[in-house]
Amino acid sequence: MQVLVLAGGLSAERDVSLRSGRRVAEALRTARPDWQVIERDVDATLLAELAADAPDCVVPLLHGSAGEDGAVRDVLECLGLPYVGSRAAASRLAFDKPVAKTLVRRAGLATPEAVALPHATFRELGAPGVMAALERGIGFPLVVKPARGGSALGVSIVREAAELPAAMVGAFAYGDVAMLERFVDGTEVAVGVVETPDGPVALPAVEIAADGGFYDYAARYTAGTTEFHVPARLDDAVAKAAAEAALTAHETLGLRDWSRSDLIIDAEGTPWFLEVNVAPGMTETSLVPQALAAAGIDMGAQMAALVERAVARV
């Protein structure tokens, strides 16, 4: 079996992707020493190499717009190559946060009220008018984030109107559309989902307690800056509700093989859906590897099972 792990790319999350790819490749080599596992960046020579020497399976670990918007997966499908993870169409739905929130809300999940605001609209309407409308419609505090992206890049918590213009500039630095979402105070958790022969299964929830109170890029990928509790310190009923929310998001959006949903658990124990990831980070500080370990599942064995699942689909 020849397995190609795609990592890197040109998105703002390139470094994280490279770390994820390296760790997954090493885990696969350990779990399946009989396989040939190759790590590969994305460049103009990739498609020619794939056409000349097609691997048995591709594991796309490209984070951000380069890998989670479905484009690379579309190309892999055109080439007839099996790959681990959600299909291109489902990836596009999940990667667009306002679209994903609309769909999971229709499925019955709680998700904070939000407005998607393109850069041109914000500029044309003017900051004062937009801030007044937001204060009436959503209220402060709120969270400003790029509508498409990950790793908390460009994300800000805005507690008063004066902070909004700078937060919008930060979000627009990573995309043309910003999403402004009602802030929900509570416990931040991440719930991974992996598919098995018996169907999708939720992994133990990972509770996130960032030292600065905000799980930003530095808190995600700098060891020692965030405390994790696995499984999360939740009542059994709340933990079950969080698991069901992640499974509902996975199934509603038509995801495949694996995903990770990010949730906030409020004081009443309600899980609020924030977003879902189709190519979860797999670095030393990432959440899905911690959840797999808590469930007693070897990461390499799980990834190998997903590879075999992908190959069997062809």
Q: Which residues are catalytic?
A: 13, 151, 221, 260, 262, 275, 277, 281
Residue 6, phi then psi, degrees to nearest 5 = -90, 125
DSSP 8-class letter at 96 = B
Query: What phi-psi label fits residue 223: left (phi over 0), alpha (psi between -120 and 50 degrees) or beta?
Result: beta
User: Which of 302, 303, 257 is CA-nearest to residue 94?
Assistant: 257
Do residues 279 and 68 make contact, with C-beta atoms less than 8 angstroms apart? Answer: yes
How many helices (DSSP H) and strands (DSSP E) are in the chain? 13, 13
Report the distance separating Cα 178 and Cα 118, nearest Å. 6
Q: Rounded to 10 degrees, what is the CA torsion of 86, 239, 110, 85?
A: 0
Do residues 187 and 264 make contact, with C-beta atoms less than 8 angstroms apart? Answer: yes
Three-class SS of residue 73?
A: helix
The token pair at 284 is 């030393």
Report the distance separating Cα 168 and Cα 178, nearest Å. 7
Sheet holding 2-6, edge to edge: 36-40, 2-6, 57-60
Q: What DSSP element (H or E) covers 110?
A: none
Do residues 153 and 146 make contact, with C-beta atoms less than 8 angstroms apart? Answer: yes
